[in-house]
Amino acid sequence: MGSLLHRSQLHEYQRYCIEYIKSHPVTALFLDCGLGKTIISLTALHDLMLDELSVAKVLVIAPLRVTAVWAAEVKKWGHLSELDVSVIVGDAKTRLAALNASSLVYVINRENVKWLVEYYEKNGLRWDFDCVVIDELSSFKNYQSQRFKWLRKIRPFVKRWIGLTGTPTSNGLMDLWAEIGILDGGERLGRFIGRYREAYFKPGSMNPSTGVVFSYVPRPGAEEQIYSKISDITISMKALDYLDMPECVYVNHEVEMSTPERKLYDQLKTDLIIPTDDGDIDAANAASLSNKLLQMSNGAVYDENKEPRFIHSRKLEMLEDLIEAANGQPVLIAYWFKHDRQRILEQLTACGYDPRDIRSSEDIRDWNQGSIPIALIHPASAGHGLNIQSGGHILIWFGLTWSLELYQQTNARLWRQGQSSTVTIHHIITKDTVDEDVLAALASKDVTQEKLIAAVRAQL
């Protein structure tokens, strides 16, 4: 183990955030990837527990992959040596042992929130966590989810709340009601989603005959009103403002389907079905259709028997060109569908390359050492806490995702502090397809998020 980091090595903006958390019983910290949300929170908790004695027991709720990051971070810093962290994951017996261990900070994955609250209830125990930290606050944006409902039950017994995220409004402003509400009990944006919706939104599209609303859009001026309502508990910072970030360049590469390929795409789009001898390709509803069209844009699509049907290889050809143009520099490829991964592996292996998935800690180590020339990654597993910026600076999106959060987090795996080269993010886009819509949607969702972050940006 190398020498420990010292408290004096914290950045100025990190110290500002630490003081902010200490002086605000409810804090929403909207910090970009790489700004150090974990060390900021742990330092603030250290001070609150051991200097001010105002917090006795902390519960951190984090994505499963990140639970270990909290325990590891404590070991990196000298000033945190007195903080002990117990990680409550694994089977019921292991979780129980971790819960009963004598610690100051307990970390649990969000899927086990229900189990924890139920355990306290069933055993007649008084809820004794007086501070709750939600790492990735955006995972509580769905007020109908189990984790939201169970966490809300214990809300009255917790005196301090800290919410951390880099993507507060990945699907628009509607998300904020649940995220802020779980922290402040509905004080700022109201206690009912219906009233929040009425106050700040109007129907965007609806079924004229039934009156069922499909989507809502913010009323004029609503955005500013919402931001000002939450500004007293919110701190927001972009990595670009506070870190020496490398340049990031986005490049789109268009490919085009041939006339017969385009005909199949258009047939599915209009008829919702392509009949074939041994399994139709069909779409049951709008969501399924956009999913199927996205697959076809990438070059293959699942039929009714879950078998992939080959449509075209335009993207694979472009991928090959981009890898060749990288001239031996390591390339990271993001894919979305399983059949995409399969076809990428087959194509690149046939070209004499040796592509490899980034999944285990061994893969991460090898990539960072530069010994994997071509790596594949799925956005859902490229989430928080994955440090792979040392291994390369070229990311190619073979197929896109509708999720702004996963898109940004995957990009932030390479474009973050510690990256020494300009990062290039390539999108391979099939012309005149749903690909273009996804790219536009990602851009427009980001506009809302940028506005939120700008509105509550910390003025140091």
Question: What does the pLDDT average to over 293-320?
Answer: 88
Question: Is the pLDDT confidence value at 447 over 70?
Answer: no
Tell me the pLDDT tens digit for each residue of 99-128.
Answer: 999 999 999 999 999 999 999 999 999 999
Contacts of 126 (CB under 8 A, 6+ apart): 120, 157
Q: Which CATH class is domain 248-445?
A: alpha beta
Question: Is the pLDDT confidence value at 286 over 70?
Answer: no
pLDDT of residue 377: 92
Phi (first) and psi of residue 75, to 5 degrees: -75, -15
pLDDT of residue 456: 64
The amino acid that residue 369 corresponds to is Q
* Tokens matching residue 160: 């301090």
Question: Is the pLDDT confidence value at 417 over 80?
Answer: no
Domains 7-242 and 248-445 share a fold: yes
Domain 7-242 sits in CATH at 3.40.50.10810
pLDDT of residue 459: 57
Cβ–Cβ contacts within 10 Å for residue 412, how many?
23
Question: Is the pLDDT confidence value at 282 over 80?
Answer: no
Phi (first) and psi of residue 387, to 5 degrees: -95, 100
Sign of torsion over alpha carbons 40, 45, 50, 53: positive
Calpha distance 308→383 (Å, rounded):
27
Tell me the pLDDT tens digit for each residue of 53-98.
Answer: 999 999 999 988 788 889 989 998 999 999 999 999 999 999 999 9
Question: Which CB contacts under 8 angstroms, 24+ apart, belong to 435-442?
Answer: 435/294, 435/297, 435/400, 437/290, 438/294, 438/400, 438/401, 438/402, 439/252, 439/400, 441/402, 442/400, 442/402, 442/404, 442/407
The amino acid that residue 103 corresponds to is S
Mark out the alpha helices in 124-253 (DSSP H runs): 146-154, 175-184, 193-200, 222-230, 239-242
pLDDT of residue 1: 45
331-334/356-357 β-pairing:
unpaired
CA 94 to chain centre: 28
pLDDT above 90 covers a percentage of the chain that reads 50
Q: What angle do CA 215, 219, 222 make, to 5 degrees?
A: 115
Sign of torsion over alpha carbons 252, 242, 26, 234: negative
Question: What does the pLDDT average to over 312-338?
Answer: 89
Question: Is the pLDDT confidence value at 268 over 60?
Answer: yes
pTM of the predicted protein model? 0.72
Question: What does the pLDDT average to over 389-413?
Answer: 86
- Domain ranges (residues) in the chain: 7-242, 248-445
Contact 318, 324 (CB under 8 A): no
